[in-house]
Structure 1
């Protein structure tokens, strides 16, 4: 008989926590998980899944216009926000049920309440019950940051944006990262006047300069406004419910909705981590080693709460590797090199590997190949929007070390191309591959 109630207790039933719980149970561990909100976590409940459904919905605005150029007699179409919102939330409910079913099928006990750490092997539940576990895994994710400014309570974050009652006519989005640019595209296509307010002069920091400049150019042509080097001063709410956003050194902006997309912070507060001697960094992230172990031998952490790479597939891999390491007698680490990423903006971005600047700093001599073109569909639709594909090659080895794309379906194309970059293929390997014509993806094997 075990000295503990469970072999593993997982705090947080998001993507990483559920994967860790399921695989650990499959290895024979007795597992429990606690989730204070809904099983599925940020990605499924209030993140990438419902957001991508909104992106699909927003694309119809352009597709319906373009269809007329392709011979379709499309009448003027109205948009009903509540229909889309409710359908998206219904799909979230469906996925929530599937995640819960996964836990149940694998005999994982679920506590639908908040759990905190009372000691290296002890968990305190909100109901007052205390349980013990040989190992504790923290997988509580991250939480949207809200700037400390007067009137910030009048804004919302990506947590609440999926539940708004009406589609606003004027939207101000604070931030310049992927969440800001994705929702800028969504709200714009739904007919709102959108202004992005960024405290720096750069959007999408970390992405290749040419690619993010292209998105900025296209966004401005579409009618999305940008305010750079514009820190917030305060937010005022008018009697009619509208907002006045005051910017330091700039004109105020009137809007109906203010969305804070100013980053996400590890969700580590109030978990009782100090009761097990778990160390945090200065950003509040849980410090872990290469096997996701914290400073406490019995406590591990995976996903965004560790602030390594804040991506759902990474959290899933970390959770799986943890389970194999601790319960599967197969120590595994996660390889963080060449992780593909996407921005589901309008148009979307896909990227893997080093940017041109990173490659030049690290490798010295590089070769850069680009293709700047209009997709066939855009040509016939009389849409001037241009795609840009960019390949970064190590001049010494001919190895492709980076791919960066902006254009229709860029993330879908990039996923397959990322395999080639991860495998260390060369520019010649791309050149030797026969083009699939006519397609946008063929540009990757025709780069000059």
Structure 2
């Protein structure tokens, strides 16, 4: 009964007068920046939606942190250190970090997958929110988490435990051997990681 058409985002860079500067745009109209968010004009940085490197509030704030660290703290932070992460507040919500499953399939990695329907999680049943799933991708050789997707209640909070392990560059076993509080949805993360299977 409904149709949603999403054609993407377009930066509002065409009314900034950039044609009168040394600031270059890429083919999609975003301001070109390097890994530290410096533009092609000396002394000018581009943060937020206009640089095409995230288009979320949390990535825009991280842009600020990167620029401030480089300018004032002599801390060489860069955009390429950032792991893809976002949440869409649909019903149920969708949260994602890192690599997508289709990317994992195209890679030459030896990938494992853990999957659990929300309908099999006691806390989700208790709250009457059983739509969705948890999916986690792991590199079998390095034991590092490659990515995860959670569709379901509290996914936007739960996914941070996986994201933090990725940022810490630790193996998935750190979580799979952890004891999580019962009854929570997070308590199933170790169980999922203890039951990984090859991604076919």
Which of the five TM-score ranges fits, normalised by the shorter chain? 0.7 to 0.9
For residues 210-244 of structure 1, the C-alpha deviation after alignment (integer angstroms, 9 at most, x for no partner) is xxxxxxxxxxxxxxxxxxxxxxxxxxxxxxxxxxx
**CA shift in 2, pair 1:427/1:277, >3 Å:** closer
Aligned equivalent of 1:99: none
- Give the aligned partner of residue 285 of structure 1: 30
- Measured after TM superposition, the shift of residue 431 of structure 1 is 2.1
Distance 1:414 1:325, change over 3 A: same
8 Å contact kept, 1:389–1:443: no
Is 1:310 aligned to residue 117 of structure 2? no
Change (3 A) 1:269 1:417: same
Give 1:414 deviation, angstroms.
Answer: 1.0
Tell me the distance in 2 between the aligned counterparts of 1:326 and 1:430. 36
SS at match of 2:42: coil
Equivalent residue runs for 1:84-95 within 5 Å: none
Is 2:41 the partner of 1:197? no
- Show the counterpart of 2:160: 415
> Are the aligned partners of 2:123 and 2:184 in contact in 1 as well (CA < 8 Å)?
no
Report Cα offsets for 1:353-381 as digits up to 9, x if no partner. Answer: 11222123224321111111324465457
* Matched residue count: 192
- Report the equivalent of 1:436: 181
Q: Is the 8 A contact 1:363 1:394 kept in 2?
A: no
Contact kept? 1:287, 1:295, Cα under 8 Å = yes
Mapped to 1, the partners of 2:159 and 2:17 lie a distance apart of 41
Q: Which runs of 5+ in 2 are unaligned?
A: 196-200
CA distance in 2, matches of 1:358, 1:428: 23
**CA apart distance, 1:279:** 0.9
SS at match of 1:291: coil
Q: Is 1:345 matched with 2:90?
A: yes
Q: Structure 1 residues 446, 331: closer, same or farther in 2, change over 3 A?
A: closer
Match for residue 99 of structure 2?
Answer: 354
Structure 2 equivalent of residue 405 of structure 1 = 150
Q: Check 1:384–1:291 CA distance in 2 against 1; reply closer, same or farther (3 A cut).
A: closer
Deviation at 1:297, TM superposition (A): 0.9
Change (3 A) 1:272 1:391: same
State yes or no: 1:446 paired with 2:191: yes
Higher strand residue share: 1
Residues 169-208 of structure 1: CA distance to partner in whole angstroms, max 9, x if unpaired? xxxxxxxxxxxxxxxxxxxxxxxxx61234xxxxxxxxxx
- Is the alpha carbon distance of 1:387 and 1:326 closer, same or farther for their aligned partners in structure 2, counting shifts above 3 Å? same
Contact 1:366/1:395 (CA < 8 Å) preserved in 2? Answer: yes
* Aligned residue in 1 for 2:198: none
Change (3 A) 1:421 1:320: closer
Pair 1:380–1:367, CA change in 2 (3 A): closer
Q: Closer, same or farther in 2 for the Cα pair 1:419/1:378, shift >3 Å?
A: closer
- Report the counterpart of residue 256 of structure 1 in structure 2: none
Cα RMSD of the aligned pairs, angstroms, is 2.3
Aligned match of 1:297: 42
SS at match of 2:23: coil
Contact kept? 2:118, 2:124, Cα under 8 Å: no
Please give the alpha-carbon distance, in whole angstroms, between the structure 2 residues aligned to 1:372 and 1:414.
15
